[in-house]
Structure 1
């Protein structure tokens, strides 16, 4: 089953997925998460988050 939406919140056991409705999904039932757009992660030595220098 493919679920789509935005992670609204989470705790130790579940993730709340927000779309047209809210869905509670147990973490042990999740096998893969694919972001809908690129995710920028700052590097440890990158203070301003922009590595285009």
Structure 2
């Protein structure tokens, strides 16, 4: 799970679940004001897929 900057707004963070570091499996649609909030949401999505962070 990676925390990323949203492309449309460099002050907003998002998350992506990737395989092999490059193949994007899933992206969060929401923007988060802090890295921590984006990481928490991404980890929740990751666990919903049945994968441990």
> Which one has the bigger helix percentage?
2
> TM-score w.r.t. structure 2 length?
0.26
> Which one has the bigger strand percentage?
2
> TM-score w.r.t. structure 1 length?
0.26
* Higher relative contact order (Cα pairs below 8 Å, separated by 6+ residues): 2
